[in-house]
Amino acid sequence: MSTNPAENPAFASHDHSDCVERVLATAETLCKDRKVRLTPIRRQALEILISEHKALGAYDILAELSARGQAAHPPVAYRALDFLVTHGLAHKIERLAAYVACAHPGERHRPAFLICRICQLVAEAHVPNNEGALGSAAKALGFQIEETVIEAEGICPECQKAAA
């Protein structure tokens, strides 16, 4: 898996079924290692998320789960998403109140996201754990960071071309 942002595939066309298989396999392994259960609902939720690079709302996931025959009450989706987020298999995009599959499952990382406001695609950039500016501001204040939310909204290369 590439760690070079320039090779991030989200904004470029690529073989997606590959992508899906790869992440699902990693998820299986990761859950086995941690002795947690990737139950059918959780697996399907992840599958639905990876099938898009878009961020999906909890209720989008819910609708898709329901279409696949699962019970369709909100807690079903939220519980699956909580599990995925807790185990680093998915991330929440706060700006959109929506979720994306993690592009680097298993790797320790502070995720950062580039959100296209035209096509809704979301790319996960690989940002070093030491947040330059944010990290030093926290250090200077004596603030102890536990989690970070780093999101940029703007226009992806494809949509810039389309607009030009």
Partner DNA sequence: GGCTTTGTGTTATAAAGTTTCAACGCAACA
Partner DNA sequence: TGTTGCGTTGAAACTTTATAACACAAAGCC
Instruction: Please report, as ranges, the residues that interact with DNA according to CB under 7 A.
Output: 36-37, 39-42, 57-59, 70-71, 73-76, 78-80, 83, 97-98
80 contacts a copy of itself (rule: CB under 8 A): no
For 138-158, b/e burial (b = at least 16 CB within 10 A) is eeeeeeeeeeeeeeeeebbee
Q: How far is the CB of 60 from DNA (least distance, A)?
A: 7
Amino acid (1-letter code) at residue 8:
N
142 binds a copy of itself (CB under 8 A): yes
6 binds a copy of itself (CB under 8 A): yes
The one segment of 27-35, 45-53, 73-81, 109-117 that binds a copy of itself by CB under 8 A: 109-117
Query: From DNA, a copy of itself, none, which one binds at residue 140 (CB under 5 to 8 Å depending on kind)?
Result: a copy of itself
Quick check: 38 and 28 in contact, CB under 8 A? Answer: yes
Torsional class of 161: left (φ above 0), alpha (ψ -120 to 50), beta (otherwise) = alpha
